[in-house]
Amino acid sequence: MDIAAINQLARQLEAQIAQVVVGQHAVVESLLVALLSEGHILLEGPPGTAKTLLARTFAATLRLSFNRIQFTPDLMPGDVLGTNLFNFQTSEFTLTKGPVFTDFLLADEINRTPPKTQSALLQAMQERSVTIDGRTYPLSGGFMVVATQNPIEQEGTYPLPEAQLDRFLMKVVVPFPSRSEEQRIVKLHGNRTAMPKLDDFGVEAAADLARVAEARAAVAQLAVSDEVVDYIVDLVRATRDHPSLLHGASPRAASMLATASRALAALRGRAFVIPDDVKALFMPTMQHRIILAPGAEVEGLSGQMVLDQILAQVPAPR
């Protein structure tokens, strides 16, 4: 698959999503980047900003098996992974697979459940496999997690463990729509109170797993110059040296930023990565991987402000 075909596929997916979700073009682009990068994505925003609807519609445009987990405070790891149950007819234990055995997993309101259950996804997200009672089971080669969460200031939420946050390729903040977009939302969805049925909008699948795999293979071959590699490494290393950060990004973050930059270049019709691709993805790929120093919080700094400083300080190649 060439760059033109990848670009055409992205436009088809965007057109299908636009039938249901108004606006949120940057978030849709981030979902496409994650898809082409074989990465997982975390969507954060207040309730009612179409996080779940967007994820469900995105899944519907792909001919992939789909499961959803509604995370709650009483959810257990076995509810996510599955469990071995004793079969009295055969006198053997048989595996009852959990919802994680799928191509596309929607982890809805993931920060509503305690860290023990959140961490059940760690191995699945990193290794595309799960271990149950000492036996390892492979997951689908197209396994992708789209998680949604409410802002941490909301009551009844639990912060995601740092190790799990690092498994997400990106954390994308879903903003409120503009006034004109909100008017269109009311005209489109103002005749119901429940989640709309996607069949009512004529959403069709524009790709299957084989086509997605072809696109991913093509993206992996995109050229990244030594100058751009150096730029990525310098940006990530700067997060570890910044006095306002207690904890910076890891080498895994640098590799993920490079992978995501390849995907964004393909979506924008190029067979090579430029510094602007890296800059566009630096914030969403790093903001969940850094921890502010206590003094920085006292001074009123935010993680986004510190990352903006790093982008301004590290020279980009020309």
CA dihedral 217, 5, 281, 251 (to 10 degrees): 10
Question: 54 in helix, strand or coil?
Answer: helix
Give the closest residue to 142 by CA, choosing from 122, 124, 160: 124
> Which CATH architecture describes the domain 222-313?
Orthogonal Bundle (1.10)
- Residue 246 DSSP one-character state: E
What are the pLDDT tens digits along the chain (318 aa)?
Answer: 788 888 888 888 888 888 888 888 899 999 999 999 989 999 988 888 888 888 888 888 888 888 999 988 888 888 888 888 877 777 777 878 889 999 889 998 888 888 888 888 888 888 888 888 888 889 888 889 999 887 766 667 788 878 888 889 999 998 888 899 899 889 888 887 777 787 778 888 888 888 888 889 999 989 899 999 999 999 999 999 888 888 888 899 999 999 999 999 999 888 899 999 999 999 999 999 988 888 877 888 888 898 999 999 999 888
Residue 98 backbone dihedrals phi, psi, to 5 degrees: -85, 180
State the first-to-last Cα distance of the chain, in angstroms, to the nearest integer: 29
Q: How far apart are CA 124 and CA 142, in angstroms?
A: 12
Task: Give the residue extent of every domain in the chain.
Answer: 3-194, 222-313
Runs of H (alpha helix) within the chain: 3-18, 25-36, 51-60, 77-81, 115-118, 122-127, 162-165, 179-189, 209-220, 226-241, 251-267, 275-286, 294-298, 303-313
Question: 269 in helix, strand or coil?
Answer: coil
Q: How far apart are CA 165 and CA 160, in angstroms?
A: 6
- Residue 103 DSSP one-character state: S
Annotate 28-64 with b (16+ C-beta within 10 A) or e (fewer): bbbbbbbbbbbbbbbbbbeeebbbbbbbbbbbbbbbb
Residue 153: predicted pLDDT? 62
Which helix (H) or strand (E) segment holds residue 63: the answer is strand 62-63
Which one is the CATH code of 3-194: 3.30.360.10, 3.90.1150.10, 3.40.50.300, 1.20.140.10? Answer: 3.40.50.300
